Structure 1
């Protein structure tokens, strides 16, 4: 097989397209096939930097790991990073090319990118046995169909079969499957091979009569019913979701090694980006991670993390409006740990000069670190490595702000003053040795008898979760039928469902 493929669409956003795509990738690579993930256009504030210096969605980087291949810009040629409700930065082939309003993008610019998207897909097809494409939102967003480059537009251009995923946990999945199919044109319906039920709880036999009725109404089969799986900890496009050891805002799953737990509060700033940085903390036994938006929620926190954001100045204003800025200043004065990452690092500094992102000019920071930040037009995209706290560290950088560090102790190209740390490096806590050293420092400063687990491997945990996704597909989907679709394309002869039928 060479160049086969499948489009995983969804009835809604967050139906489970990303994890199903990753699961199919992991299942296929375990069958000895060369597999690549693909998403023509992604809208997300969670992104990653490839070894080639290209910025892509973290979901595609995770899917590449599931497929056991190196992530590349080919896998996500268009990335939209929202800066407001109405505009986004457009990242093309891993590099920012400008800001566009939603109207400007969907009004014509999007269609102009179709050629690039299809070229990337064809290049992946030429070098892999199968390409598993992830759609975006729903293919039945008929107001956007004309310029679509990520759902049925891709499927029709590549003649890929489409499997539609629906989240039954939300309810209404049969109506979603039927309505999604009925709203498509005859040419698009021809490619919809069937459905995949996601997040089912209970006895599958109770669901089967409904699946039979759905087949009778649409002429299309259901390829599997995936059970609800807790604690998958897989990178999504956006939204707070489960960590590797349990859901954020929930209690500790794994007991602490030492006498105390360690409580981490993450400020849920506007346009929060790469909040996956805290996943490695949540993976540690005895570490509780929660996202907060009130100053009183910082009182019992042993560590406060100010994460990355697409709107640094806006996040700074939000921290002040909420009273969180004052709480952070008090913590620093008391010697209680604070970590700022990327945009969070920038707000902890003395001053921000921004004529690029917010165009707010000069803005006073929180003054917790001796740093002045100036926003540059060109974005920094890098994969740095170094050493901190006596341990090797690797990370990745995605930022317009250029930091002028004027004092303090050097810390991952940022700085540290007392118990306040700041860095532009995302992903640094995924290094097991460095994470343990950092948590020991936090525990000491917080006065906690917390001991990091000596054998926790974030990489191993991530691999275990990707294998769980592969297991879900292998054990609960009709893999023979899926493989036939990937090899042979759309089945053909499927009936057209007119809107309003039956």
Structure 2
């Protein structure tokens, strides 16, 4: 067997990533050798593979769902925005350029060949490759240079299913319109639909699905129910808006430990905090104003793709002053990667922002210098007497000049800094850190002794596999994977843009 499938979506955050992961887990549980693939990803949420390559965090998670080792070929092109118009281009796990949005097109032909080679490599090594699209395939202004949606599907003759988020509203118009905007040759590969995040009476939805099939000639292959707790390694900050605020009380009547995460404009690797949120009695929320920090027991400055610019935003909003007051009062503050850099006395950046010397918050005895070379690593260490494994992705090098050691950074009083992402996924370290924070905050909180983040992650991936097995037409999925899109699918008017040259 050597099959493939492309999961496209009507919008960003429609459910492509979780559906791709669910299909990978469903196949892996049946003994199928399967791998995920996303030709081009735009995300500030990335991860480092075992061999030191940077890929999108969602593709790393999908590889875990497939029970295979993540590798650079699964996400050959990663774009990391540093502003509204410029992005760092990461190819096969290594940064190669900083480009303006209009300059990126000049790289497309070379990247198209890289994408084709990576997909061929994965297809040769695995029975099935489940590809994920980006944004929407109906972004007709970008179709001519597309290498991730219908451009990929056409080049590799991939059947395509389109997922739409019914919780947003307008799902029928979105699904129909997505097909109708495509030219006939692209439409010929659209084989069916999946409705995501449905809650309500199925009998009320059914007539709409029947009419959608009558209008497009394509069936709905399944309806996935709205399910709590599936916030797995999201690619962009749209997913943060969908996360529910935690209850103000923890279980067993204990006081909740309240954690406020500063939501920088260019926040990156926000999944660092997922392991904290998995702890019973811990409430994690995102903060954009000083008032959001008022009752927080711990304030976290997370990673960012634009340290200097987001530091300026921190000052404009008044958050910097509030964080300084908290530190002076001995209330816990944690900086991770870019957040750690902000806590230093001084930042010298001629690489990311070109701003030169910038004064930091001065809450940690450290200085930061930005190197052109990017650090990509999987470090190991210990803290609180517990082992810690993590990963690093940064240009900024923090030179620590004092304080007590804390992972690769330092601690002064209740202010902690580290460049290590993923440290909180280490259960024993996380519990020790939270206990220290609770003590310093004067909070009556004891971390649960038996929470395993890895086990919770694995259970969530199994839930995704269950959703596919229980709610999708898996027979139809098999046929698409093995045989491709059915022939003779009708063209949906108006037929979209003129054919691609």
TM-score normalised by the shorter chain: which range applies? over 0.9
Identify which of 359, 365, 369 aligns with 1:370.
Answer: 365
Gaps of 5+ in 2: 497-501
What residue number does 2:90 align with?
91
Residues in 1 aligned to 2:250 and 2:131: alpha-carbon distance in whole angstroms: 35
Residues in 1 aligned to 2:247 and 2:265: alpha-carbon distance in whole angstroms: 25
- Alignment of structure 1 residues 85-164 onto 2, 5 Å: 85-105=84-104, 107-164=105-162
Give the conservation status (yes or no) of the 8 Å contact 1:268–1:293: yes
- Alignment of structure 1 residues 330-341 onto 2, 5 Å: 330-341=325-336
TM-score if structure 2 supplies the norm length?
Answer: 0.97
What residue number does 2:395 align with?
400
Residues in 1 aligned to 2:244 and 2:341: alpha-carbon distance in whole angstroms: 25
What residue number does 2:499 align with?
none
Give the conservation status (yes or no) of the 8 Å contact 2:372–2:395: yes
Judged with a 3 Å threshold, the aligned counterparts in structure 2 of structure 1 residues 26 and 253 are, in CA distance, closer, same or farther, namely farther
Identify which of 264, 268, 278 aligns with 1:269.
Answer: 264
Cα shift at 1:231: 1.6
Give the count of matched residue pairs: 496
Cα shift at 1:225: 0.7
- Alignment of structure 1 residues 428-467 onto 2, 5 Å: 428-467=423-462
Residues in 2 aligned to 1:248 and 1:427: alpha-carbon distance in whole angstroms: 22
Cα shift at 1:296: 2.0
Residues in 1 aligned to 2:147 and 2:325: alpha-carbon distance in whole angstroms: 49
3-state DSSP class of the match of 1:18? helix
Give the conservation status (yes or no) of the 8 Å contact 1:231–1:242: no
What residue number does 1:10 align with?
9
1:187-220 per-residue CA deviation (whole Å, 9 max, x = no partner) reads: 1111111111111111112111111111111111
Structure 1 segments (4+ residues) deviating >3 Å: 240-243
Cα shift at 1:252: 5.7
1:384-422 per-residue CA deviation (whole Å, 9 max, x = no partner) reads: 001111000010000000111100111111111111100
Give the conservation status (yes or no) of the 8 Å contact 1:414–1:423: yes
Cα shift at 1:281: 0.5
Give the conservation status (yes or no) of the 8 Å contact 1:248–1:291: no
- Alignment of structure 1 residues 141-220 onto 2, 5 Å: 141-220=139-218
Q: Does 1:255 align with 2:256?
A: no
Cα shift at 1:175: 1.4
What residue number does 1:77 align with?
76
Residues in 2 aligned to 1:250 and 1:451: alpha-carbon distance in whole angstroms: 18
TM-score if structure 1 supplies the norm length?
Answer: 0.97
Judged with a 3 Å threshold, the aligned counterparts in structure 2 of structure 1 residues 242 and 270 are, in CA distance, closer, same or farther, namely closer
Residues in 2 aligned to 1:139 and 1:476: alpha-carbon distance in whole angstroms: 24
What residue number does 2:55 align with?
56
Cα shift at 1:152: 0.7
What residue number does 1:342 align with?
337
CA RMSD of aligned residues (A): 1.5
1:397-454 per-residue CA deviation (whole Å, 9 max, x = no partner) reads: 0000011110011111111111110000000000000000000110111111100000
Q: Does 1:412 align with 2:411?
A: no
Residues in 1 aligned to 2:397 and 2:374: alpha-carbon distance in whole angstroms: 9
Give the conservation status (yes or no) of the 8 Å contact 1:234–1:242: no
Q: Does 1:493 align with 2:488?
A: yes
Residues in 1 aligned to 2:381 and 2:281: alpha-carbon distance in whole angstroms: 28
What residue number does 1:291 align with?
286
Cα shift at 1:249: 2.6
Judged with a 3 Å threshold, the aligned counterparts in structure 2 of structure 1 residues 468 and 356 are, in CA distance, closer, same or farther, namely same
Residues in 1 aligned to 2:11 and 2:297: alpha-carbon distance in whole angstroms: 38
Residues in 1 aligned to 2:61 and 2:155: alpha-carbon distance in whole angstroms: 26
1:99-144 per-residue CA deviation (whole Å, 9 max, x = no partner) reads: 1111111x33223310000100010000111000000011111111
Gaps of 5+ in 1: none
Judged with a 3 Å threshold, the aligned counterparts in structure 2 of structure 1 residues 367 and 326 are, in CA distance, closer, same or farther, namely same
3-state DSSP class of the match of 2:35? strand
3-state DSSP class of the match of 2:340? helix
Cα shift at 1:90: 0.3
Of 308-317 and 109-118, more deviation after overlay is shown by: 109-118
1:257-284 per-residue CA deviation (whole Å, 9 max, x = no partner) reads: x832100011111200001111111000
Residues in 1 aligned to 2:107 and 2:137: alpha-carbon distance in whole angstroms: 19
Cα shift at 1:240: 5.5
Residues in 1 aligned to 2:210 and 2:173: alpha-carbon distance in whole angstroms: 14
1:10-45 per-residue CA deviation (whole Å, 9 max, x = no partner) reads: 111111101111111111111110110000000000
1:150-182 per-residue CA deviation (whole Å, 9 max, x = no partner) reads: 001111111110001011111111111111111
3-state DSSP class of the match of 1:471? helix
Residues in 2 aligned to 1:333 and 1:30: alpha-carbon distance in whole angstroms: 53
